[in-house]
Amino acid sequence: MRILVVDDEAPMRALLRLFLEQHGFAVSEAEDGYEALERVRTERPDLVLLDIMLPGIDGWAVCRILRRESDVPLIMLTARDDVRDRVSGLEAGADDYLVKPFAEEELLARIRAVLRRTPRVEGRPADRVIAGPLLIDVPAREAYCHGRRLNLTPKEFDLLALLARHPGQVLDRARIIERVWGWDYDGDVRTVDTHVKTLRAKLVAAGCSRHLIETVRSIGYRLNPQHDGRGGTIP
């Protein structure tokens, strides 16, 4: 598995590379935010270790941009120990937040914990997602239900891919808006409901159950892969 280390200090990158390689990870490096974005887009790492204080664009901005494009697991590493900074990092989309200096054993434990929570198919979380009757080819931006290709709009595809990456997990409308429409979206959050309605119709037309995407009243939606559309639920 490949980890991208993003830090503007070469000694820190070298230290993290040595430690991670000793534990069997492949390691890539980036020294600023722009290089980090380019490497994630081209290399598709399994996890990103991201420093906040970066030249060019800071770690918070990098995190928000990545969350618009990818669900790659992301752990922020920073010397800033203020509670507000931790909250800002997590709200920006980070999966975890670790304050420098930290013990190497704790970093390793957090990496493994985040990776365990991340659905992985054929080695890379961003490449291909299978959830019940769904198969989603993320790089090709193609989705299939029972082998039948779905004709989705870009937002419908992003919405379905997001739900499929988190099977059984309730995603509230605010989180869906941030991940699919972007953190700077200032329109009506009910656009999520409209897109779910049209997405459900296309799934049913392809043979999926209308209950594949479940409404959680007053909160949001979740994908239940147990509903296959062919006789109820998958045992």
| Per-residue pLDDT, 190 | 85
- Classify strands 142-145 and 134-137 as parallel, antiparallel or unpaired: antiparallel
pTM over 0.85? The answer is no
pLDDT, tens digit, 9 for 90 and up, residues 113-142: 888 876 554 444 446 788 888 988 887 888
pLDDT, tens digit, 9 for 90 and up, residues 151-192: 999 899 989 998 988 888 899 998 898 888 876 677 888 899
Tell me if residue 112 falls in helix, strand or coil.
Answer: helix
Residue ranges of alpha helices (H) inside the chain are: 10-22, 33-43, 59-69, 83-91, 104-116, 154-165, 173-176, 191-205
Which residues, 6+ apart, have CB-to-CB distance to 109 below 8 Å?
none
Q: Report the alpha-carbon distance of residue 126 to residue 164 in Å, rounded.
A: 11
For residues 146 and 198, which has the higher predicted lDDT (pLDDT)? 198
Q: How many CA atoms lie within 13 A of 79 on its CB side?
A: 5
Q: Report the alpha-carbon distance of residue 102 to residue 108 in Å, rounded.
A: 11
Q: Report the alpha-carbon distance of residue 7 to residue 12 in Å, rounded.
A: 7
pLDDT, tens digit, 9 for 90 and up, residues 84-113: 766 766 777 788 888 888 888 899 999 998
Task: Summarize the chain as % helix, strand, coil (round to 5).
Answer: 40, 20, 40
Closest CA to 25 of 8, 56, 4: 4
CATH code of the domain made up of 128-223: 1.10.10.10
Q: How many CB atoms lie within 10 A of CB 105?
A: 8
Say which CATH architecture domain 2-117 belongs to: 3-Layer(aba) Sandwich (3.40)
Q: How many CA atoms lie within 13 A of 232 on its CB side?
A: 2
| Domain spans of the chain, in order of start | 2-117, 128-223
